[in-house]
Amino acid sequence: MSRAGRIRSETVAASRAFLRRRTAVFFTFFFPVIIILIFGALVQTQPTGGGVFAEPAAYYVPGYLAVVVLFTPLSRVGSEVARHREGARFEKLATTPLSRAEWLFAQTLVNVGIIGLAAVLIFGLVVGVTGADIAVSAATVLVVPFVLLGVALFCGFGAVIGSLADSQDGVIAASNGIALPLLFLSETFVSPGLLPEWLPLWLSPLTYFARGVRAVTYAGAPPDPFGLGPVGNLAALGVLAVAFFAVGSVALPRTD
């Protein structure tokens, strides 16, 4: 079987495995809806009064997208790796032509499809619930590669967590412990002006996602401190995605 055939077969199998877990399917889409409803209400009640939710609703679009781009791959891929380890599946996988990189790529494709659908839902809800004025232009299409690369990056990160954690419960705890600080310290919901100047926000890969998506969806986006612009942030995110994916592939165990 060719490499494309192996990846296709694993992608189909992983998709069916996800769809069989109805609770996982439900919360993958329900969680960002709750976030939008809660944060959207806060944004609408405090549009100009200062504080965390003082910016226009469109400012927070990257934050809403980051909820699924960050949390879903970390927890899903990490848990999948942990399940494979507990079931000695990597030992069986080592006897097949499917490489670890191909396995992780198939998992990434599944997450891209899931999160792509969730992102469309989020855009609709953000406009409908918060009344966000999305800036639509030719550059807005860059949201697609931003989401794709963000998912690939955090799938690789999730593979590392799943390879190091001692159980599925450990994966969930580690994923939440990493994702929550990143979500609020990456220029998503909290603007840089409200954070201490000494915080190295540029160390977070999610920062480049937030800056890039905001630049192509919000007309009042602040200037990029590094002068990268949408394409520059996309390139930075791409480099990080390749690095995290490579590390995640290497971290996957050969045996259990």
pLDDT at 109 over 80: yes
Res 150: pLDDT: 95
pLDDT, position 29: 73
Report the alpha-carbon distance of residue 210 to residue 53 in Å, rounded: 16
Tokens of 191: 């603007």
Nearest alpha-carbon partner for 69 in 35, 124, 114:
114
Per-residue model confidence as pLDDT tens digits over 34-74: 777 777 666 655 555 555 667 788 888 898 899 889 988 88
Is 163 a domain residue?
Answer: yes
CB 158 within 8 A of CB 73: yes
Which of 17-21, 34-38, 42-46, 122-126 has the highest mean predicted lDDT (pLDDT)? 122-126
Each residue's pLDDT tens digit, 177-215: 999 899 888 998 888 888 888 888 889 999 999 999 999
138 falls within a domain: yes
**Listed range (154-158, 160-164, 207-211, 221-225) with the worst mean pLDDT:** 221-225
Which of 122, 146, 114 lies closest to 216, judged by CA?
146
Residue 133 counted as domain residue: yes
Average pLDDT of span 114-129: 85
What is the rounded average pLDDT of the residues 18-27? 73
Q: Classify residue 256: in a domain, yes or no.
A: no
Q: Is residue 167 part of a domain?
A: yes
Sequence-distant (≥ 6) Cβ neighbours of residue 94 within 8 angstroms? 254, 255
164-172 mean pLDDT: 84
Cα 187 from Cα 56, distance rounded (Å): 14
Per-residue pLDDT tens for 136-153? 888 889 999 999 999 999
Domain hosting 96: range is: 3-251
Residue 150 lies in a domain: yes
Structure tokens at 239: 């480099």
Q: Is 221 left (phi over 0), alpha (psi -120 to 50) or beta?
A: beta
Please write down the HEC assignment for all residues of the chain: CCHHHHHHHHHHHHHHHHHHCHHHHHHHHHHHHHHHHHHHHHHHHCCCCCCCCCCCHHHHHHHHHHHHHHHHHHHHHHHHHHHHHHCCHHHHHCCCCCCHHHHHHHHHHHHHHHHHHHHHHHHHHHHHHHCCCCCCCHHHHHHHHHHHHHHHHHHHHHHHHHHHCCCHHHHHHHHHHHHHHHHHCCCCCCCHHHCCCCCCHHHCHHHHHHHHHHHHHCCCCCCCCCCCHHHHHHHHHHHHHHHHHHHHHHHCCCCC
- The answer to whether residue 154 scores a pLDDT higher than 90 is yes
Q: Which amino acid is at 11?
A: T
Q: How confident is the model at residue 13 (pLDDT cuts 50, 70, 90)?
A: confident
- Structural domain contains residue 109: yes
The upper half-sphere exposure of residue 90, i.e. CA atoms within 13 Å in the direction of its Cβ, equals 22
Domain tally, the chain = 1
Q: What is the pLDDT of residues 76-105, one digit of tens each?
A: 898 888 888 887 777 777 778 888 889 999
